[in-house]
Amino acid sequence: MRPAHEALIVVDVQNDFCPGGALAVAGGDAIIPEINAMLRQYPVRVLTQDWHPAGHSSFAESHPGAAPFSSIEMPYGPQILWPTHCVQGTAGAQFHPRLETEPGDLVIRKGFRPAIDSYSAFFENDHQTPTGLEGYLRSRGVEKVVLVGLATDFCVTYSALDAARLGFKVAVKMSACRAIDLDGSLAEACSQMMRVGVDLL
């Protein structure tokens, strides 16, 4: 068992991000056995779940004429427009059936505000609206977080950067993550994480 002050954060291992899903990450389901093994090793275990209302502002279909993976400017900054995914209550939003969710202590749902996207487990994309995860981790005495899940270059990286900014020690277990890698986004994400002291394991 890992020390009492360490937490495992499992990011968005949901059907829509796995092969066959609406926003599938290549090999997204291949990381599940390693994550399941890690869930048995940590004293604090948090799962995040992308949880969008229908017609969310980050969906390309919400912007007539806009193509998926194009970018627009939102009040909080640039926003990539995604294929419709992880809509509340749909099969695509559910955790992958092989993910062992039972050991999880807490599920953080994010992206449920219609007008703002949320990649990070800690904040919406305005970098100001909190999800409540920081307070939970502090109340559990957590000092270090280890991140796994989907996708490395978006939700995992944003979560890692925010955790570092909040003063946690942060590591990302790269073998238990998979990336979308849009136009070199994985290399850029790794560079950003290393610059703020995130350990890439």
- CA 89, 95, 100, 104 dihedral sign is negative
Beta bridge partners, 75, equal: none
174-191 CB burial, b ≥16 within 10 A, e <16: bebbbbbbeeebbeebbe
Is there a catalytic annotation at residue 110?
A: yes
Q: Is 12 a catalytic residue?
A: yes
DSSP code at position 128: -
Crossing angle for the helix pair 157-165 and 185-195, to the nearest 10 degrees: 10
List for the chain the helix, strand, coil content (%; round to 5).
Answer: 25, 25, 45
Catalytic residue, chosen from 12, 29, 50, 153, is 12
Candidate list 18, 29, 86, 110, residue with the active-site label:
110
169-178 sheet: strands from edge to edge: 106-110, 44-50, 6-11, 144-150, 169-178, 199-200
Q: Which residue has the tokens 């809509």?
A: 87
Exactly one of 18, 155, 177, 190 is catalytic; which is it?
155
Pair of tokens at residue 79: 């926003």
Place of tokens 């996708």: 151
By annotation, the residues acting in catalysis are 12, 110, 155
